[in-house]
Amino acid sequence: MAADLTSLAAQFHAWTDERAAELAVFRHEHPSSVSDRLELGRGLMALLAADGWSLRGWPEDVGGSGGDIRERAVLYDQLEGAGIGVPEQFTVIETVGPAVIRFAPTLAKELLLPYLRGEELWCQGFSEPEAGSDLASLRCRAVATGGGFLVSGQKIWSSYGHLADRMVALVRTGSAESRHRGLTMLMVDLSGPGITRRPIRLANGEEELSEVFFDDAPVAGSSLIGEVDKGWSVAMYLLQFERGMYAWLRMARLRGRLARLARRVDPADPIGCREVGRALAAQRALRARTWHTIARLAEGETPGPETSVDKVLLATAEQAVADAARAVDLAAFTFATEDLDDARSEWFYTRAASIYGGSAEVQRSILADHVLKLPSEGKA
């Protein structure tokens, strides 16, 4: 049974007050490097798990305390509202965790709690150099052996792939012609032999993404998520959470950034005020839309192509908030001061927001074809 969400928010707010001294470091420390942010996040995850907060909304049979996805959404929102950043690790578990729970419950029982305590980090391995948006053309291959699989190939653009302990990887077990019918999902231990990882430096200077190479890397049969050659259905189930909770987490972070910008903008600065207002409108639209998607997930619905709206609104909001930060401190932003390194880094990062995870053009085409049922250009 879902908790009273208003009461839950009040209880969590009271907890942040009680634990103010211990939480101070998470309010005031803002590491610039990905590895340092993840390390800081581990400490907060351990604290949240120790008092049971991060277990809320996860199924009891895999180590959670019950409830539904809305409880997790409220807690993330309250963390940002209290000025405490949500650990980046939660974006991964919220994207891939529900699929692991549904299709590999034994794995989930073993691995979910250590993850929520900050003891593990996972990544997602879908994209390949010649298979970005078209996942059915994946080439990274897994060959069945007596006790598992040997994986060979490459994954690219994996967030935290060079730092993660495990990868939820979509690999080919059928023929190349089998397309989506020959794909399988595996939980790969990245500490094993035959695996090489390289970070990718982004335009903002950060090394968040990576490429991962597999050279006959052994993977245990117990690491199978779902069934052999049925990985496409796992991937499709997973993607609905990428649109829902991932977008909500990003929205919550934008809320915190906007609150700080609103305190700093000069009321006499028309450009700064305009950009902050525009960003606030974009963030509120994203919040309303993603909450609707999360509520549907909580009721057991399976959102379809209409969740492309969530992705379009997310990219719009992320770019609007970054543009507002630049407008508020334009001179300092342009001529580089150390205080604005994070804002500048975020601005560069958000330029790709309308590309990664499915470009805005692709999302609009999905909406046009499958939601609005518009005629194709050739038939117009």
pLDDT digits (tens, 9 = 90+) for 240-276: 887 789 899 999 989 988 988 999 899 999 999 999 9
Query: What is the pLDDT at residue 152?
Result: 98
For the cut 70, the answer to whether the pLDDT of residue 379 exceeds it is: no
For the cut 70, the answer to whether the pLDDT of residue 2 exceeds it is: no
Active-site annotation holder among 128, 242, 318, 346: 242
The residue among 237 and 283 whose pLDDT is bigger is: 283
List the structure tokens of 375: 């005629």
Measured CA angle at 271 (ends 80, 326), to 5 deg: 50
Ordered domains of the chain (ranges, CATH):
5-120 (1.10.540.10), 123-229 (2.40.110.10), 232-371 (1.20.140.10)
Question: What's the whole-model pTM score?
Answer: 0.88
Q: What is the mean pLDDT of residues 290-298?
A: 94
Q: Residue with structure tokens 């199978």?
A: 224
Q: What confidence category does residue 97 fall into, taking pLDDT thresholds of 50, 70 and 90?
A: very high
Q: What is the mean pLDDT of residues 150-177?
A: 95
CA distance 164 to 270: 44
Q: What confidence category does residue 68 fall into, taking pLDDT thresholds of 50, 70 and 90?
A: very high
For the cut 80, the answer to whether the pLDDT of residue 32 exceeds it is: no
Task: Report the chain's mean pLDDT, rounded to a whole number.
Answer: 90
CA distance 194 to 339: 42
Q: What confidence category does residue 280 fall into, taking pLDDT thresholds of 50, 70 and 90?
A: very high
Burial letters 205-217, b for 16+ CB under 10 A, else e:
ebbbbbbbbbeeb
Q: What is the mean pLDDT of residues 52-73?
A: 95
Q: What confidence category does residue 35 fall into, taking pLDDT thresholds of 50, 70 and 90?
A: very high
The residue among 13 and 334 whose pLDDT is bigger is: 13
Name residues whose C-beta falls within 8 Å of residue 164's C-beta, 6 or more positions apart in sequence.
92, 121, 122, 123, 158, 190
The residue among 82 and 347 whose pLDDT is bigger is: 82
CA distance 114 to 171: 25
Q: Classify residue 251 as exposed, middle or buried by CB count within 10 Å of its CB (0-12, 13-18, 19+).
A: buried
Q: What confidence category does residue 99 fall into, taking pLDDT thresholds of 50, 70 and 90?
A: very high
Q: Is 242 a catalytic residue?
A: yes
Q: Tell me phi and psi for residue 375, to 5 degrees.
A: -70, 145
The residue among 362 and 147 whose pLDDT is bigger is: 147
For the cut 70, the answer to whether the pLDDT of residue 340 exceeds it is: no
Q: What confidence category does residue 31 fall into, taking pLDDT thresholds of 50, 70 and 90?
A: confident
Q: Please write down the HEC assignment for all residues of the chain.
A: CCCCHHHHHHHHHHHHHHCHHHHHHHHHCCCCCHHHHHHHHHHHHHHHHHCCHHHCCCCHHHCCCCCCHHHHHHHHHHHHHCCCCCCCHHHHHHHHHHHHHHHCHHHHHHHHHHHHCCCCCEEEECCECCECCCHHHCCCEEEECCCEEEEEEEEECCCCCCCCCEEEEEEECCCHHHHHHHEEEEEEECCCCCEEEEEECCCCCCCCEEEEEEEEEEEEHHHEECCCCCHHHHHHHHHHHHHHHHHHHHHHHHHHHHHHHHHHCCCCCHHHHHHHHHHHHHHHHHHHHHHHHHHHHHCCCCCCHHHHHHHHHHHHHHHHHHHHHHHHCHHHHHCCCHHHHHHHHHHHHHCCCCCCCCCHHHHHHHHHHHHCCCCCCCCC
For the cut 70, the answer to whether the pLDDT of residue 16 exceeds it is: yes
Q: What confidence category does residue 173 fall into, taking pLDDT thresholds of 50, 70 and 90?
A: very high
For the cut 70, the answer to whether the pLDDT of residue 12 exceeds it is: yes
